[in-house]
Amino acid sequence: MISVVIPAFNEQETIGEIIKVLSMLKENKDNEIQEIIVVCDGCTDNTSQIAREKGADKVIELPQNIGKGGAMMEGVRNAKNDIILFLDADLIGLSPGHVKKLIKPVIDGEADMTVGVFEKGRVLTDFAQTIAPFLSGQRAVRKHLLEGMSDLDAARFGVEIALTRYAIENKLKVKEVVLEDMSHRMKEEKFGLVKGISARLRMYREIAQYMRKHLKI
């Protein structure tokens, strides 16, 4: 069975639709989705309330923002199932089909981890994932593999690189899954142009710091 973990920081605009899609799957007895966990990473908006109203099983409210990696691991520690599906909280266009494509290879034993790559969504998000698919936050992975990672909490926005690094070092079977007609809200849309660019630069800085420290770049 599968627990979905969604790390979120002020995503009231999109979290409801994501939970709605997952709840539809959860209600289908033939589907493997059993638990929906939202981790509000120091949220100051209505993300938590909306997640509860739309059907999240657990909403974990962290009093301070600890970063994406820490929020993801908090969700993992509270998950009860063998497979974890990570989804970003700012997705646009998520469908039941996307979820099934992400989880099926892991359920069937074809992969230890899947990585979702956007296609035919929005030009900028498609381009970003074409040149750097390892930065995707849409992943399914077996829980016991995550428990072997010591640095995921501290990875912040380098979390996807940390997962990719771990998979390579441990020779995990990783399968890329194309997610058509899906994208996410860009930081400039969430925070406005100036704050959005600042947030994007901070994200890139954290990714670069992780890469220099752990990948010797």
Taking 50 as the threshold, does the pLDDT of residue 196 lie above it? Answer: yes
Q: Mind listing the pLDDT tens digit for each residue in 56-83?
A: 999 999 999 988 888 998 999 999 999 9
Report domain extents, the chain: 2-184
Q: Mind listing the pLDDT tens digit for each residue in 132-183?
A: 545 678 999 999 888 766 556 555 556 777 787 788 888 889 999 999 988 8
DSSP assignments along 167-205, one per residue: HHHTT--EEEEEEET-EE--HHHHH-HHHHHHHHHHHHH
Taking 90 as the threshold, does the pLDDT of residue 186 lie above it? Answer: no
For the beta carbon of residue 50, count every other beta carbon within 10 angstroms. Answer: 21
3-class DSSP assignment, residue 118: strand
Q: Name the CATH architecture for the domain at 2-184.
A: Alpha-Beta Complex (3.90)
User: Could you tell me if 76 and 99 are in contact, meaning their C-beta atoms sit under 8 angstroms apart?
Assistant: no
Whole-model pTM: value is 0.79
